[in-house]
Amino acid sequence: MPLANGPTSSIRGRLVAASAVLATVFGLGTVGYYLLGWYNLGKGTWSLGDCAYMTVITLTTVGYAEILDVAHVPGGRLFTSVLIFLGLGTVLYFASALTTFLVEGEFQHLRTRRKMKRLIEELKDHIIVCGVGAHGAAVVEELVATRWPVLALDRDPDRLERMKELLAGPDVPCMVGDATEDDVLQEAGIERARGLITTLPEDRDNLFVVVTARQLAPQLKIVAKADKPKSADKLRKAGADSVVTPSFIGGVRMVSEMIRPQVVEFLDLMLRDRDKNLRIEEVVLPEGSRLHGKPLGEARIREKANLLVLAVRDSQSGKFVYNPGPQLELAAGMSLIVLGETESVQTLRRAAGRGFDPTSAIPVQKRE
């Protein structure tokens, strides 16, 4: 399990500082003895090896016999005395920092593991992302930006750390493990999960994850990445609800840049806007919604939640109604395709079950 950055980094910094101080004192002692011998007895009288050894036994105060005749060198005993006092403080500081790193660092590691385990056990209706390489890290970033509960799973702890640095803030639940193993997915709470996205580097690994996940959670929505187009059909037959081929999407994007650049720029700016966090989202009206049977105009979605309804999909026919008018009658199971800020979308999702009260305002994140 990845370690938290704060306390562990502080402990590591103290150890590095203590090591630097110790190395500096050791270097000064070695050079000091060498220069004393050179100045008083002639060049090469005391070798660097002997000077280094003399510095070591002086700093550690082990009490071995002096191998350098400092008693008959002017300033030799004074220099040794100063080195002893410096060495006592430096060695104690280094030993303290090393002990802290070994004891508290391990304690912090264990505490972080326990905290992360409790956090994972409390997750519900979350999305498991298997593999946080180039594609997986982008998936996690988008899920975090749109306020979906997510669990990042990868066998390489370094990749998880890089992903957390990329997010630069949100504390995403992370888990180290092989997503192709049953017990790892079970520990990730696959039975309680809303969905799973697998973005492992190899198509065969993604295929294995899809088969395993479908067996463990038949109701789970699974989205898989396929590098090779011919792997897409295999992944769907194995149980994936959707398959995304990055090479195909990349080709479509290149064409879009050529023939509809303004649309591409609009979507890019919308996705990259860190302040407003605009997205095109879907909101499903649940059973028992008070919006059931009401015209779209009376729902006052634009006024109350600051969302633009772009389209509506009927749950029975599966057909889309684009730019629906205010007279369109809403029904349970219907999907609303809306454009707006993430916080407003979450507000609409929470309110969809009970409907809007026209006499009270629903708190949403205001645009600036």
CATH classification of the domain holding 215: 3.40.50.720
Which of 205, 234, 250 is the last residue before a domain boundary? 250
Answer yes or no: do 114 and 143 share one domain: no
The better pLDDT of the pair 110, 355 is held by 110
CATH value at residue 20: 1.10.287.70
- Residue 224: pLDDT band with limits 50, 70, 90: very high
Answer yes or no: do 178 and 199 share one domain: yes
Answer yes or no: do 110 and 128 share one domain: no
Tokens matching residue 129: 């992302």
Give the number of other CB atoms < 10 A from CB of residue 235: 26
Answer yes or no: do 113 and 133 share one domain: no
Answer yes or no: do 282 and 347 share one domain: yes
Residue 235, pLDDT score: 95
What's the pTM value of the predicted model, to 2 decimals?
A: 0.62
Residue 93: C-alpha distances to residues 57, 88, 99, 328, 357 (Å): 17, 9, 10, 74, 65
> Do the domain assignments include residue 261?
no
Which of 250, 268, 301 is the last residue before a domain boundary? 250
Residue 22 has pLDDT above 80, yes or no: yes
Give the number of other CB atoms < 10 A from CB of residue 296: 21
> Do the domain assignments include residue 85?
yes
Residue 41 has pLDDT above 90, yes or no: no
Residue 87 has pLDDT above 70, yes or no: yes
pLDDT in tens, 274-308: 666 788 899 999 888 888 888 999 888 988 888 99
Which of 233, 250, 267 is the last residue before a domain boundary? 250
Between CA 152 and CA 74 the distance in angstroms is 66
> Do the domain assignments include residue 256?
no
Residue 6, pLDDT score: 45
Residue 169, pLDDT score: 63
Give the chain's mean pLDDT: 83
Which domain covers residue 45, as residue numbers?
A: 6-120
Tokens matching residue 195: 């969905």
Greatest mean pLDDT among 30-44, 70-84, 266-280, 329-343 lies in 329-343
Answer yes or no: do 314 and 364 share one domain: yes
Q: Give the residue among 294, 285, 283, 308 at the shortest CA–CA distance from 357.
A: 294
Answer yes or no: do 174 and 62 share one domain: no
CB within 8 Å of 320: residues ≥ 6 apart: 311, 312, 313, 337
> Do the domain assignments include residue 268?
no
| Number of domains within the chain | 3
Between CA 314 and CA 296 the distance in angstroms is 13
Residue 157 has pLDDT above 70, yes or no: yes
Residue 62 has pLDDT above 80, yes or no: no
CATH value at residue 361: 3.30.70.1450
Answer yes or no: do 90 and 204 share one domain: no
